[in-house]
Amino acid sequence: MIEFKTAPNQPEELNSILNPVVKKWFFSRFKEFSLPQLLGVMEIHSRNNVLVSAPTGATKTLTGFLSILNELVNSSGSGSLEDKVYAVYISPLKALNEDIRVNLVEPLKEMEKISEKKLGIRVAVRTGDTSAAEKAKMLKKPPHILITTPESLGIVLSSYRFVELLKAVEWCIVDEVHALAENKRGVHLSISLERLQSLSPQMARVGLSATIAPLDKVAHFLAGNENGSPRSCKICDAQFLKKMDLKVLSPVPDLIDVEHGKMHDALYTLIDELIQAHRTTLIFTNTRSATERVIHHLKEKFPKRYAAEDPTIGAHHGSLSKTHRHSIEQRLREGKLKVVVSSTSLELGIDIGYIDLVILLGSPKSVARALQRIGRSGHKLHAASKGRIIVLDRDDMVECSVLLKSAVEKKIDRIHIPTNALDVLAQQIFGIAIASKIHKNDLYSLLKRSYCYAGLSLKDYNEVLDYLSGKHISLEDRHIYAKIWVDEETGMIGRRGRMSRVIYMTNIGTIPDETFVTVKIAGSDHAVGKIDEAFLERLKRNDVFMLGGDKYEFLYAKGMVAYVNATVYRPPTIPSWFSEMLPLSFDLALEIGKFRRLMEEKFNRNRSKAEILDFIDEYLYVDKNTANSIYNYMRQQYLFAEIPADNKIVVESYSDAGRKYVVVHSLYGRRVNDALSRAVAFAIARSQHRDVEIGITDNGFYIAYEKNVNVPAALKLLKSDKLEIVLSNAIDKSEILKRRFRHCAARSLMILRNYLGRQKRVGRQQVSSMILINAVRRISPDFCILKEARREVLEDLMDMPTTKNLLKAIEEKKIKIKSIRTDMPSPFAFKIVLESHTDVLKIEDKAEFLKRMHSRIMEKIGEAAA
């Protein structure tokens, strides 16, 4: 049973189990037990599965380890310490692993000093960076605590000598559960945990997580199933332990009537003031390019403060080298930096010393993420976290104000945990077959014990087995493709081929290699940045695009380099690529929709401005300035057109330069709008046999077309029970499906990054995956890995289930659809039109497209000749 532990244990209880040495050490370092410790330590001591959720710096890690260290010190004292792994600690961050090792080795040394003898407790890290010699040493003298990553755990579980050491593990700690549960690394880990559990049936699982919701679902993910129902797990909720000091700030009083230059000045002045008023500030931007931009402008505007010889400002994001990041972390810990700007890389628990202010530039898009980021400040248990969200436009302002309300009221948005991912399944089955022979039925039950595969159908399971055993390939060629054999008579499964172990060890993992193209100035070797490869595919000669805040004109590409001209004075002709952008969470979107509804009610009832301002002030926890801006923004929309809300989708039509635009105000977040817009566009396109351009944002989407289209009719035509079929068709020719298929093909080891001693460049992977997807389609349109790519797009990238519910609500008239016509985009429509991620729904046959393009060019050539 999964249950919340409501009453913490008493300090005396903890004291009674602690070894005198451990106790002495503990109180030499800490005054008292923290709440997470009072909640968790006894449970871990009793080998119960537990999930501890608490903000960063709330002594979570020690909570996880205290009972374990205690047990090891006890065994050491009684001379019963065995040569085996007692505890496995897993963290998604390699960088964190070394921190953890030090944080265990140091206390152990101190305890040795206290007890005045050697304890002989060994701690070792095993990651992709561990040398062969160190690995060999571990086999001879196994560490009592093994620190590793999900990927390396996958490897040791398939290494027959190491497996011997994992047969009596007592605890498995999974750190940063919140960073794993949402993606395929977590899915992969969920099976690894079952593999480990089947080796060590008595093992208890300990999950450590920052702010996340819903906790019971995450606990179920951590604990898995036994005999078809969730294993028991105690939830220790200390999420709101730290005090929070949160504010939304606007650089200028009015976000609309302000020139770009003024806004820019005001923004950096505000940031500088905040930095100067604090000791160390951490700034989060949502993208890597924005990170660079902020640093550039701060240095330019305040050279004395930020561009001195020994700079007090630094960048920290995923594209920077490891050495650079380490040096930034080091300087932070030493207190040498005044400010660090990061995209997402500092969200996780790397020790960065004392931060007293976190600035979020632009909306963090989810309450949980906001709290995780802001929780990086006041890194001590009793220090309050201080966060300032700076908003840059009016939609941002409303969004962040509602986010702040949810954060204060402890309403955390729910995460999505992927299930039944067939690519990860294929990788894991291969790994299991490498470790030892196993019966088909036993394997199936092992897999179903994972939360992520509890619903795995026998059909899908068998299809993955068919794929792995090369059933789809003629016998003649099977030796190249088959990774396992399945004996139909005995039901046994085993590995196939001498290379299988090497292939598995060198290609394991779930994080896709992204394809980036370097952008260089033509005629020089000067690189100005990187763009996504898929973005390059859309670029045409002379297209102007934005990169790192500057404009470039695309000239030509050669291999993995795009050559550009840097001196352009035309506006961009192609929208930026938003693949890095975080989607707004559905729960937060609903809260914003609800606020819009409340505002409209006030306007409808002719409430006075003062009354409404009072309401905003009370409802949203914002200052007078912000309340005033929000009032004006909502009022303008109300007077100009119509305010859309959680229970009302407004469909707005207008024309621009002969092109018809239909803006659908459906504020449900991009994951829903991605699905909804494609389904609507598909319904329209199919009746017209022409491509439809769509633009998707968190707040809605638009459809652009040459003729008038009836979007409300299309919305009503879409039936919730047909959504899956419609969407599967709608994404069939999309770039996103091809791209995700490449990731899935790599995870399921159809594309090997490392093979025959060669490492494969991602650029080549992209080209070959195009060929591969075509070939796979010919085997079957429902080939398991293609099916998985489709599932990933529809369920993980988009949110089909929620979209389905939305359509149901429209069918049941719980959500109204209101149609309006405008002469120009309404205030709420601006951002939807301007900042959309555009895509095209391909309906037109390729041959038809060619014919149409041909007649167009003939017209043009004809004109030129005349």
Partner 1 sequence: MELLKGMEIVNLALYIKKINSLVIGDVHIGYEEALNRRGVLIPRFHFRDVAADLDKTFKLLQPLLKSHKGKLKNIIINGDLKHEFGSISGQEWREILKFLDILSKHCEKIILIKGNHDIFLGPVAKKRNIAVVEDYSAGGIFVCHGHQIPATKQFREAKILVIGNEHPAVSLKDNARTETFKCFLKGSFRGRQMIVMPSFNPITVGTDVLKEKFISPFLKGSIDDFEVFVAEGDNFYFGKVKGLKQPQQTI
> Binding residue for partner 1 (CB under 8 A) from 127, 632, 729, 838?
838
Amino acid identity, position 463: E
> Binding residue for partner 1 (CB under 8 A) from 756, 812, 813, 866?
756
Dihedral Cα 651, 656, 660, 663, nearest 10 deg = -20
Secondary structure (DSSP) of 182-206: TSHHHHHHHHHHHHHHHHSTT-EEE
Return the structure tokens found at 751: 């594309």
CB atoms under 10 Å from CB of 577, counted, come to 17
Task: State yes or no: residue 774 binds partner 1 (CB under 8 A).
Answer: yes
Residue pair 38/164 in contact (Cβ under 8 Å)? The answer is no
Task: State yes or no: residue 520 binds partner 1 (CB under 8 A).
Answer: no
> Binding residue for partner 1 (CB under 8 A) from 256, 527, 725, 853?
853
In this chain, which stretch among 156-164, 279-287, 576-584, 843-851 interacts with partner 1, using CB under 8 A? 843-851
Please report how close the Cβ of residue 844 comes to partner 1 at its closest, in angstroms: 8
Please report how close the Cβ of residue 569 comes to partner 1 at its closest, in angstroms: 15
Task: State yes or no: residue 850 binds partner 1 (CB under 8 A).
Answer: yes
Please report how close the Cβ of residue 858 comes to partner 1 at its closest, in angstroms: 8
H helix intervals, 4-59: 11-17, 20-29, 35-45
> Which residue's CB is nearer to partner 1, number 686 or number 719?
686
In this chain, which stretch among 110-118, 344-352, 470-478, 796-804 interacts with partner 1, using CB under 8 A? 470-478
CA gyration radius for the chain? 28
SS (H, E, C) 621-651: CCCHHHHHHHHHHHHHHHHHCCCCECCEEEE
Task: State yes or no: residue 485 binds partner 1 (CB under 8 A).
Answer: no
Task: State yes or no: residue 866 binds partner 1 (CB under 8 A).
Answer: no
Task: State yes or no: residue 160 binds partner 1 (CB under 8 A).
Answer: no
Secondary structure (DSSP) of 649-708: EEEEEEEETTEEEEEEE--S-HHHHHHHHHHHHHHHHHHHTS-EEEEE-SS-EEEEESS-
Task: State yes or no: residue 706 binds partner 1 (CB under 8 A).
Answer: yes
Task: State yes or no: residue 501 binds partner 1 (CB under 8 A).
Answer: no
Residue 304: left if φ>0, alpha if ψ -120 to 50, beta else—which one?
A: alpha
CA distance 255 to 629: 8
> Which residue's CB is nearer to partner 1, number 42 or number 544?
544
Q: Which residues contact 416 (CB under 8 A, 6 or more apart)?
A: 182, 795, 796, 799
SS (H, E, C) 396-408: HHHHHHHHHHHHH
Pairing of strands 357-361, 281-284: parallel
> Binding residue for partner 1 (CB under 8 A) from 481, 577, 621, 830?
481
* Binding-residue pattern over the window 776 to 815 for partner 1, x denoting contact by CB under 8 A: x-xx------------------------------------
> Binding residue for partner 1 (CB under 8 A) from 137, 247, 538, 716?
538
Task: State yes or no: residue 161 binds partner 1 (CB under 8 A).
Answer: no
Task: State yes or no: residue 775 binds partner 1 (CB under 8 A).
Answer: yes
> Binding residue for partner 1 (CB under 8 A) from 772, 798, 806, 815?
772
Q: Which residues contact 488 (CB under 8 A, 6 or more apart)?
A: none
DSSP 794: I
> Which residue's CB is nearer to partner 1, number 50 or number 749?
749
Give Cα separations from 475 to 249, 478, 500 (angstroms).
67, 5, 18
Residue pair 57/380 in contact (Cβ under 8 Å)? The answer is yes
* Binding-residue pattern over the window 556 to 585 for partner 1, x denoting contact by CB under 8 A: xxx--------------x------------
Residue pair 240/252 in contact (Cβ under 8 Å)? The answer is no
Task: State yes or no: residue 754 binds partner 1 (CB under 8 A).
Answer: yes
Q: Judged by CB under 8 A, how many residues of this single chain contact partner 1?
A: 61
Return the structure tokens found at 643: 């305010």
Task: State yes or no: residue 133 binds partner 1 (CB under 8 A).
Answer: no
Please report how close the Cβ of residue 500 comes to partner 1 at its closest, in angstroms: 13
Given the structure tokens 């041909």, which residue do they identify? 854
In this chain, which stretch among 92-100, 258-266, 417-425, 858-866 interacts with partner 1, using CB under 8 A? 858-866
Task: State yes or no: residue 480 binds partner 1 (CB under 8 A).
Answer: yes
> Which residue's CB is nearer to partner 1, number 284 or number 430?
430
Task: State yes or no: residue 842 binds partner 1 (CB under 8 A).
Answer: yes
* Binding-residue pattern over the window 642 to 681 for partner 1, x denoting contact by CB under 8 A: ----------------xx----------------------
Task: State yes or no: residue 537 binds partner 1 (CB under 8 A).
Answer: yes
> Binding residue for partner 1 (CB under 8 A) from 161, 526, 764, 821?
764
Dihedral Cα 370, 376, 380, 386, nearest 10 deg = -60
Task: State yes or no: residue 693 binds partner 1 (CB under 8 A).
Answer: yes
Please report how close the Cβ of residue 767 comes to partner 1 at its closest, in angstroms: 8
> Which residue's CB is nearer to partner 1, number 563 or number 621?
563
Given the structure tokens 């006890």, which residue do they identify? 74
Please report how close the Cβ of residue 846 comes to partner 1 at its closest, in angstroms: 6
Dihedral Cα 780, 850, 577, 422, nearest 10 deg = 0
In this chain, which stretch among 60-68, 174-182, 607-615, 852-860 interacts with partner 1, using CB under 8 A? 852-860
CA distance 696 to 365: 15
Name residue 663's beta-bridge partners.
Answer: 652, 702
CB atoms under 10 Å from CB of 303, counted, come to 10
Task: State yes or no: residue 502 binds partner 1 (CB under 8 A).
Answer: no
CA distance 118 to 459: 56
* Sheet strands side by side (includes 492-495): 438-439, 492-495, 484-486
> Which residue's CB is nearer to partner 1, number 197 or number 748?
748
Please report how close the Cβ of residue 741 comes to partner 1 at its closest, in angstroms: 13
Task: State yes or no: residue 477 binds partner 1 (CB under 8 A).
Answer: yes
Residues at the contact surface with partner 1, assessed by CB under 8 A: 472-473, 477, 480-481, 537-543, 556-558, 573, 658-659, 691, 693, 704, 706, 749-756, 758, 760, 764-765, 767-769, 771-772, 774-776, 778-779, 838-840, 842, 846-847, 849-854, 857-858, 860-861, 864
